[in-house]
Amino acid sequence: MARNRFLPVVDLPDDWSGALTVVVHDGKVVVLDEHPVEVAAGAPRLLLGTLDGAACFAVDLDGDGVPDLATSDLQDLLVPLRGMYGRLDDARWTLAGRAVQLVEWDRSHRHCGRCGTPTEPAPGERARRCPACGLLARGRNFPMPMYSCLAGFVEPGETLEEAVAREVLEEVGVEVTDIRYVSSQPWPFPHSLMIGFEATWESGDIVIDEREIVDAGWFTPDDLPIVPPAMSIARTLIDRWIERRLD
């Protein structure tokens, strides 16, 4: 079973062993089993946390003091984050997404928002501090923008298939047909059962119900957003669909 083996520590524990480096450059990433010093000495680096005890760093290859990429093997290894899907295990996939966000946050907080003085990393915190006026720019929790399958509740007197058709229509304005049961998963939050279906688009463009949905879209296997982890039924449905599309 996959479980979250990642700890988002801001100070490296004494017993870390091994290192992972997520190199970030121009919206592209590569995850390497090496320490940042071996990958790109001199480039700005950030501690992401630990994964199974290994220290995880992000290296910003668009920062100052970066070695010339033109002569580097890294150039060939870097791929867009979305293109990493399926090539990395869940933990590394999530780590790569976290690295991209954290590098972006760090870049956009290099100067104090109040007085313009260059900021410095604040020890022991995911934050940068202004040495002149003391203003602290704190990193948020870096939630991942994640897309999942649509979900809803069965109403009394309705079949499961009717519930699927109704929920899809209500949430994204699309009519579906050919609704097929796939699998189920106990969902103890509380006393529930998740039942997974596939369906085929019949008519309509996506119009989201903004009370329930932030965004929805049509995706292809090579254009996937960040999706739920492997232990979820949503991911089972997504993986089945990808396998079929790639056959």
Q: Binders of Zn ion among 61-120, rule CB under 5 A?
A: 112, 114-115, 117
Stretch that binds Zn ion, among 51-59, 126-134, 204-212, 230-238 (CB under 5 A): 126-134
Stretch that binds Zn ion, among 32-40, 41-49, 89-97, 129-137 (CB under 5 A): 129-137
Cβ atoms within 10 Å, residue 13: 10
> Which member of 10, 122, 127, 135 binds Zn ion (CB under 5 A)?
135
Q: What is the closest distance, in whole angstroms, from the C-beta atom of residue 134 to Zn ion in the complex? A: 7
Contact 149, 176 (CB under 8 A): no
136 binds Zn ion (CB under 5 A): no
40 binds Zn ion (CB under 5 A): no
> Which member of 7, 41, 77, 133 binds Zn ion (CB under 5 A)?
133
Give, in order, the Cα–Cα distances in Å from 240 to each of 22, 216, 246. 28, 19, 10
Give, in order, the Cα–Cα distances in Å from 137 to each of 60, 130, 131. 19, 8, 12
Task: Please tell me the distance from the alpha carbon of residue 40 to that of residue 59, in angstroms, as a whole number.
Answer: 8
Q: What is the closest distance, in whole angstroms, from the C-beta atom of residue 103 to Zn ion in the complex? A: 22
137 binds Zn ion (CB under 5 A): no
Cβ atoms within 10 Å, residue 230: 15
58 binds Zn ion (CB under 5 A): no
Give bridge partners of residue 198 from the DSSP assignment: 180
Tell me how long the chain is: 247
Q: What is the closest distance, in whole angstroms, from the C-beta atom of residue 131 to Zn ion in the complex? A: 8
Q: What is the closest distance, in whole angstroms, from the C-beta atom of residue 130 to Zn ion in the complex? A: 3
Contacts of 12 (CB under 8 A, 6+ apart): 47, 50, 55
Q: What is the closest distance, in whole angstroms, from the C-beta atom of residue 37 to Zn ion in the complex? A: 31
- Per CB under 5 A, residues contacting Zn ion are 112, 114-115, 117, 130, 132-133, 135
